[in-house]
Every structure is written in structure tokens, then in C-alpha cells.
Structure 1
Amino acid sequence: MRSTPSFKLAAADNSSGTWTPSGGVQFLTVPLELAGQRIDNFLLARLKGVPRSRIYRILRKGEVRVNKGRVKAEYKLKTGDVVRVPPLRVADTAPAPLAGASLRQLVKASILYDDNGLLVINKPVGLAVHGGSGIRLGLIEVLRQIYPQSPFIELVHRLDRDTSGAIMVARKRAVLQHVQADLRSGRVDKSYLALAAGKWPRSRRVVEACLRKNTLKSGERMVSVHPDGKPSVSRFQVLERFRAATLLAVKPVTGRTHQIRVHAQFVGCPLAGDDKYTPDDVNRRFRSLGLKRLFLHSASVGCQLPDGEKVVVAAPLPDELGALLKRLREEMG
């Protein structure tokens, strides 16, 4: 009878943060880059295929030990901690598959900045930022395969699967904590390019509308403006007007799911190519002009690193979006 594989962390004298499938009790020495992370999040991020409930159960029962002692789920790891993980059965679903050579090359070619513990990627449209909800391979999984010796690679923020452009990924925990703190306080600059259907109102430069997430019976996630939702603010600037569309620069003050897309719909100018929030008849016109995706692109990101260095990275507009703008300009004569 074929046995179910276990998930093994590297030996205690290995501080690289790597792990391999194997059996028996396993140990890992925590490197500097992972210091400060909660033990539950540490395990959840690494024991792919092990049910979440199982991970919390072994923490409650004391089967996970840090420096030979029991710890609670909220315990924050320190450099040099030795984590003991008991033998665990991985679920029947396989771990994230290896990325193919073409996908790895695409992501490598999309790296815009890699220094001082920060990566900025020009995320291709259609690539999810992480696996989950039926998606087993996302940007973060590909990056971990590209950088197998890097003990820490985590998303600083997210982009929708249908959105392209600049996204920040931390290669050091100190960078992640610092930039995310700045995100929460509004000190990180994020700028998007969006094409809205119709004529954007000249006086509408700021949209403040509470957003609430809903899950349909089909499992599809939708967002709507609702008084019981979370406060959300976006700033819009008109860059160029066409016959039946408006090119906008957008700066989201808050970072809610689908925020720019729903705020544009709320104003009455939904985004071109948006199959969730834009009527089919509106999208049909843009498809006739060659648009096959959502016109929303993360054009630039800017932040300050823990050492005070300021980083600003721009992501060029994809060719297919630039081609659509050219056709719209030709329509104007």
C-alpha cells in the first residue's frame, strides 16, 4: 500500500529556511529574515497540504515545540529559535506544481527592481498573486521557485488577477513590516492607469464610497457599494478623453478588494474590459477594438525602505493596452 508522504522541514543546523518532503520529527533553525513572524503563520505558509485545523491542533496540544518548549499560536519567532514539527500527513492534493520554463522566464523578465530586500515585479495579466481558490500556482509560488535559497519571500500587497503592473514583494521580514506599516498609514504611493467607459465627470476627482464584499452562490466574489461596508477612498485624474472613454490616473487611498473597479462603476463609468462590473454591451465595443482584458494597470509604486532609501519604480504599459489607446486616438481623427 502506498504511504502518504509527510512534510519535512530542514534539519536544525540548517538556517537557510528551506524544507523538503520526508518523514519523522523535523526541525528548523529560524534565520534572521524570519524573526518576528508568528509561529502559526510560519507553519501555515510552509506546510502546504496540511489542513489549517490540523496545524492549530498540533499547536494547542504542544506537538510543535520551540526551543523544546510549548508555545501558543501567537508566539513570535526569534532568530536562532529551533522549531520542532511532528510527522504530518499531507492532504491528497499535491503541493504547488513546479512552474514551467516559460512561466519562470516570464516572471524573471518581469522583475523591475531587486535590491535591499525588496522586489518589484511587473505582474503579467492573468497571473494570480498566490495560489488558492482553485489556483494552485501564483506569482509568489513562482518567485519562491526562482529564489530557492531565499528564506523569506512574501507579498507586500496584492493585485487582482486581471490587473497587470507593479507589485511589491519583500525578501526581508524587516522590509515587509516597514512597508506594510507605511501602507496602512498612507505613506506608500501607488498609481494606476485605467480606461473608463463614457465621459468621466470633470468635477469627480475623489470617490468616497463604503465597499462590502459578497460571495455569490456560484462562489464568485463580488464587491458593492453599501453603507455597512468598509470606508474606501480613491483619487481620479483625467489624462485623456476619447469619444466614449476616458483615460484616468488613479491613486487608491485605501486598499479594498476591487476598489478602483467598483468606484468607477459607482460613478457611472465602469472600466473597459471588466467582466464583473461592466455591462456586456459596453465591453462588446471595446472587444471590437481588440481589447481582450481589463484595462487596469499598476503604473508605479513608491516606498521608503527601513534604511531611509526611497524607491520609485514604474511599470510600462502593456502593448495590448497601448494599442487600444492608439485606436481610440485614431477614431478621434
Structure 2
Amino acid sequence: MKKASFFLFLLLLSIIPLYKLLFHKDYEVYVVRKMPLVKAVYATGYVKTENEVEVKAKVSGYVVRIFKDTGDEVRKGEVLAFIENKPLEKEIERVKTEIENLKEKIRKGSPFRKSYEERIKAQEERIKILEEKLKRRKKLYERELISRESYLELERKYKAELSTLRALKSDYEESVREVRRKLRTLKKRLEELESKLFEHYVRSPVDGVILKRNVEEGDYVNTFMETKPLFIVGKKGEVKTILEVDEEYGGLVKERQKVYIYVEALKGKVFEGKVVKVYRFVDKGRKTFEVEVRADYGSDILSGTTVEANIILSEKEGIAVPEEAIEENKVKVLKEGKIFEKDVVLGERYGNLVEVLRGLEEGDKVVLR
């Protein structure tokens, strides 16, 4: 970053010449005038869209679909691109198919259910016939027309068929429960797979507009090595300016200070802004800290545009003379054709000018050499 000390900020203020030099044969004369005395810090930086977000891939793979391009408006969560994963997609399809097959298996009227229901119905019919037969045999036994063994034999057969029916119903219910258990497991597995596939859809994290697209269909992205974002998304029309200021001015730059910003890309226009945030962190490599500035550029500025700026630390009206006119707090003044020495009280330095607090008045002619 270009180093710059405090300087007289004349160009940006677009003021008239601040002093007049009169040339004599043996010396130059500086005519004292009141002028704006400005202290400023020089900085460079760039324009950045408000809430600008870099969108990077969360998984590696080939980009097979791009849904949005530079300039397109997007909503939060909207899909910008898709990164292929064929094995995962095939596994999702396999699990979906298995889920559908299991659902079909236990639906009402399915072959699986009908097979069990028909067997149960047939068993119930056999039991009903045996129950009627057992009632008749019991009457015969009570009248001692048949033997006890004959009655007990039919009773044992009846109880055995009842046991078979209970086992058949229990087996049916357990089979249905097992299918439902498998369905729950598969649905959980499907959720896990679809959650993984969700990561393959590159989505916008905010509402805004695509400021830049850095990817093409067919590109391979590697999350371990990729540093460039696939997309940059930001709010349309809302921008902020980030300035990099030398660390030596860290205690001087404050919020609400006026800033004049020069934008070469906009035909050298100068814009007025204001410091809204000072980031109290110094980049050790660059030895600078960042300052956020708000300025109204209109609709012509692009995100990433470079700028130069002057942060105004103080400004006032006063008298200043070239430093070459001063020697040990004295200046030489030309009056009525004669040169006199005058004591002066000096203030701060503004570039090659030094403020004079007392000792000179407007119109005085100071000898430079």
C-alpha cells in the first residue's frame, strides 16, 4: 500500500489557488491569504457489495448443472449448481425402490396380505367345523353313546387347530411388524443419503444477485484444494468501501470522519463518504488495518472497483506559509519596498506549508528567498 503522510488536501476540495507568488528580480514573495487547512490520511481500497458472500462447494466432484449466471437474482436457499455423485444417486434410487416394494407388500389387498388372510380364513373354517362336530360328540358322550376316548381325541384335535390359528395370526402380525421395522430403517437410511446429496446442490446462502460466477459445467471442484469460490452473491445496489490504512495512523482514524474517494473507473469522479467502522486488527504482512466507509456512488459502481481515498482528520480555515519562508520562528516581510523580520507563532504542518497562529495577517507579503 502506498505510504502517505498528512498533506494539504487541495485537489479534492476543488478550491481556488490558496496563495499567490510575486516574482521579483532577486526573490519571490508569497502573499498571505486565509485558506482551508486540512489534515488527511491517504488510503487505497475497493468497493464491495453489502453482505457479499463467497459460495464454495462443500463436496468434491464434477459440476454437471449450473442454474444461475452472473446478474441473476436469487433467493436464500435457491440452487445455483449441482455436483455429480453417481454412486450416491444410485444408492438413493435402490433404497427408494426397496421402500416402495415393502410398502406394496403390506398394503391392503396385496398378495402378501391375501396369502396370510386366506390361510387364516381357511383355518377359521376348519375350526368352526370342528367346533360344531365337538358339540355333537359331547352330547353323544354325555348320553354314553360314544366312548370317552373318542370325545377327547376330537377335543385334542380342536385345541391343536386353535393353536395353529393363533400361531398363524401371530406369524402374520410379526411379518407385518418386521416389514414396518425395515421400512423405518430404510427411511432413516434414505434421509441420511438425501442429506449427503443435499450437499451436492450448491445453494445461495442469502437473498441477492449473482455478482460473479467462477465455474463452468464439466469443471471438477476439489474442496481440499479449491480456494476460489464458485459464486459470489451480494445485495444489488448496496455497497460499502473497504480502505486499507497504514498501521501508524491507527489512533487517528475514527468513526464519522469525512472521506473523499477518488474512483478512476468512473472517469475520475470524487465522492464524499463517512467512516462507519474501524477494524482494530492489523494485518502483520501488509502492516495495515481496514476501515469501512459508506458513500453514495449511484448505480454505476461495480463490486471490486479499486479506489483511492483521503480520510479527513481535521479541517479549518487559517493562515499558512511555505516552510522555506521560516527560519527560527521568524519570517521576512516585504512592506513599502523594504524587508523586515517578524516573529511568528507556528502551528501544525500541512505538507510543505506551516500554519501561522500569530504574527501575520492577510495581505502580508512574505519573502521566500
Asked whether the two chains share a fold, i.e. TM above 0.5, the reply is no
Higher strand share: 2
| TM-score under structure 2 length normalisation | 0.20
| TM-score under structure 1 length normalisation | 0.22
Larger Rg computed on CA atoms: 2
Higher helix share: 2
